[in-house]
Amino acid sequence: MKRILLLLVLSTLPLSAQNYVDLLRIGYGQTFNNDFENSPNSTQVKSFEADLTFPVPLSDNNVLITGGSFSRNNLQLFPDADFTSLLSTTLKAGLATTYNEKWSSTIVLLPKIASDYKNISGDDFYVGGFALLKLKKSDNLIYRFGAYGSTEAFGFFSTPIFGWYYLSPNGRFEMDMSLPISGDINYCMGATTIGMDYFGIGRSFNITETNAPDVYVDLSSLEFASYVQFNTLGNSVLLRAKFGYASNDYEVYQQGEKIDLGISAFSFGDDRMQLNPTISGGLFLKFEAIYRFRLTSDSEEIDSPTEDN
Q: pLDDT tens-digit profile of 129-166?
A: 999 999 999 989 999 999 999 999 999 988 899 999 99
Nearest alpha-carbon partner for 55 in 104, 105, 21: 21
pLDDT for res 261:
79
**Contact at 8 Å (CB) between 105 and 99?**
yes
Interatomic CA distance for residues 6 and 33, integer angstroms: 24
Question: Does the residue 308 lie in any domain?
Answer: no
Cis before 40 (ω within 30)? no
d(CA 106, CA 128): 14
Answer whether residue 13 is part of any domain: no
The fraction of the chain above a pLDDT of 90, given in percent, is: 72
In a domain, 141, yes or no: yes
Q: Is residue 153 part of a domain?
A: yes
Mean pLDDT value of segment 211-226: 90
Q: Residue 27 — pLDDT band, cuts 50, 70, 90?
A: very high
Higher pLDDT: 264 or 297? It is 264
Of residues 232 and 1, the one with the higher pLDDT is 232
Say if 74 falls within a structural domain.
Answer: yes
pLDDT tens for 80-98 read 899 999 999 999 999 999 9
Q: For residue 177, is pLDDT > 50? A: yes
* Domain assignment of residue 301, yes or no: no
Helix (H/G/I), strand (E/B), else coil: 301: helix
Domain containing 53: what range?
Answer: 20-291
The stretch 217-226 carries a mean pLDDT of 92
* Predicted pLDDT of residue 221: 82
Residue 18: predicted pLDDT: 65
Condensed to tens digits (0 to 9), the pLDDT of residues 228-273 reads 999 999 889 999 999 999 988 899 999 999 988 777 666 778 899 9
Residue 40 lies in a domain: yes
Domains in the chain, number? 1
Identify the CA nearest to 95 among candidates 62, 128, 127, 68.
62
Q: Where are the alpha helices (DSSP H) in the chain?
A: 299-303
Q: What is the pLDDT of residue 17?
A: 59
Q: Is residue 14 part of a domain?
A: no
Over residues 270-278, mean pLDDT: 93
pLDDT of residue 203: 87
